[in-house]
């Protein structure tokens, strides 16, 4: 009954998911590995999955009858063809973000999945599985009344020189784009970007910080601060204000120490630690659904919607503070 998984892309995240499947989660094992650099695949095999076969290509891996389900953790540009191949093979596929590098590509996946007639794709938006966001969603549904405003922040201690302005959307804010859409059960209709002066630690190819303002179909106004050189820590905030009250994303558990005339609690500095538990939960969720031949969690449609919104945000980064419209195609019944 063990789900046999093939992993395409054996970099940091593919390696980590393999470890997770082999050492933490239940109901699955990694039987196949593939990477453009075969040494990477061998290293992951040796460290975590000694019985796994190594395939020369992702397509070969997908085609193998040994492989029941596929993880796509390769370079972003390759996600779309691998996901399409998995759908063509009728195999559940977990794809790390982005689902595709363009909204058009994401829509092609949606269309393929709709044509196949069954959900097979889970996109790796792990925040939906975070206990804090789940508690926030429950509070919004049960206590605050209908949402009207959201204030959010995504702060990171620092980024390398290669990180340029559009990456603040595609690599960073993409998580807020998905999780707020899910939290509010709503769709975006416009995006706007405003900038303060640049932080001193930033550089010429990066406007940092920035404030992205989104409006939703139901009329919620969202502001998201993106500050990737904030120095002090990795800090994710989210407050939802509704008709009757407000609720805030809980801070990660942190010990309080009284020392040197200060009451002090540590703040995380590495993003990998912040949602570490939710990676386990999302992938276990995939395994359970894939064992039944289907997919659950964030859908291809969610991946498409995130891609469309992200494109609008990037366009808004260059629009001098004006709003850019966000328009989705018609939502297929498969995703209702």
Site for a second copy in 12-41 (CB under 8 A): 22-27
Q: Is 161 an interacting residue with respect to a second copy (CB under 8 A)?
A: no
Cα separation values, 258 from 205, 223, 251, 266, Å: 41, 34, 19, 12
Binding-site size for a second copy (CB under 8 A) equals 74
Q: Which residue, 38, 43, 86, is CA-closest to 61?
A: 86
Residue listed under structure tokens 């340029």: 164
Interface pick for a second copy out of 35, 80, 113, 225 (rule CB under 8 A) = 225
Contact criterion met (CB below 8 Å) for 193 and 316? yes
Stretch touching a second copy by CB under 8 A, among 159-167, 173-181, 228-236, 289-297: 228-236
Residues 6+ apart with CB under 8 A from 250: 132, 135, 136
Should residue 316 be labelled a site residue for a second copy when binding is judged by CB under 8 A? no
Binding mask 171-200 for a second copy (x = CB under 8 A): ---------------------x-xxxx-xx
Residue 333, interface with a second copy (CB under 8 A)?
no
Query: Which residues inside 118-137 make contact with a second copy, applying CB under 8 A?
Result: 131-132, 135-136
Among 262, 330, 333, 336, the residue binding a second copy under the rule CB under 8 A is: 262
One of 215, 285, 302, 311 touching a second copy (CB under 8 A): 215
Q: Is the dihedral of CA 126, 159, 71, 311 positive or negative?
A: positive
**Strand ranges of the sheet holding 235-242, from the earlier edge strand across to the other edge:** 235-242, 147-155, 221-227, 210-216, 188-194, 324-325
Residue from 36, 167, 213, 291 touching a second copy (CB under 8 A): that is 213
Residue placing its CB nearer to a second copy in the complex, 64 or 319: 319
């Amino acid at each position: 009954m063990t789900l046999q998984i093939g992993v395409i892309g054996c970099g940091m995240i593919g390696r980590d998911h393999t470890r997770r499947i082999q050492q933490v989660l239940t109901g699955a094992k990694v039987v196949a590995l593939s990477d453009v650099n075969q040494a990477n695949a061998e290293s992951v095999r040796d460290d975590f999955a000694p019985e796994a076969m190594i395939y020369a290509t992702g397509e070969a891996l997908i085609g193998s009858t040994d492989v029941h389900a596929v993880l796509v953790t390769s370079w972003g540009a390759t996600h779309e063809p691998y996901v399409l191949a998995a759908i063509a093979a009728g195999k559940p596929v977990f794809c790390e973000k982005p689902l595709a590098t363009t909204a058009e590509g994401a829509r092609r996946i949606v269309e393929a999945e709709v044509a196949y007639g069954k959900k097979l794709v889970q996109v790796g938006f792990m925040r939906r599985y975070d206990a804090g966001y789940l508690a926030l969603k429950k509070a919004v549904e049960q206590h605050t009344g209908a949402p009207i405003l959201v204030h959010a922040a995504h702060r990171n201690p620092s980024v390398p020189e290669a990180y340029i302005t559009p990456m603040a959307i595609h690599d960073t804010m993409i998580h807020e784009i998905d999780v707020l859409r899910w939290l509010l059960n709503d769709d975006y209709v416009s995006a706007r970007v405003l900038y303060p002066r640049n932080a001193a630690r930033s550089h010429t190819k990066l406007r940092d910080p920035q404030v992205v303002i989104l409006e939703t179909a139901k009329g919620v106004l969202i502001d998201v601060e993106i500050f990737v050189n904030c120095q002090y820590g990795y800090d994710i905030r989210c407050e939802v204000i509704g008709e009757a009250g407000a609720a805030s994303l809980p801070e990660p558990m942190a010990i309080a120490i009284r020392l040197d005339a200060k009451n002090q609690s540590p703040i995380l500095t590495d993003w990998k630690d912040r949602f570490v538990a939710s990676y386990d939960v999302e992938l276990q969720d995939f395994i359970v659904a894939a064992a039944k031949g289907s997919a659950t969690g964030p859908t291809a449609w969610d991946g498409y919607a995130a891609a469309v919104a992200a494109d609008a945000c990037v366009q808004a980064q260059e629009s001098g503070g004006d709003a850019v419209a966000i328009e989705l195609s018609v939502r297929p019944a498969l995703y209702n």
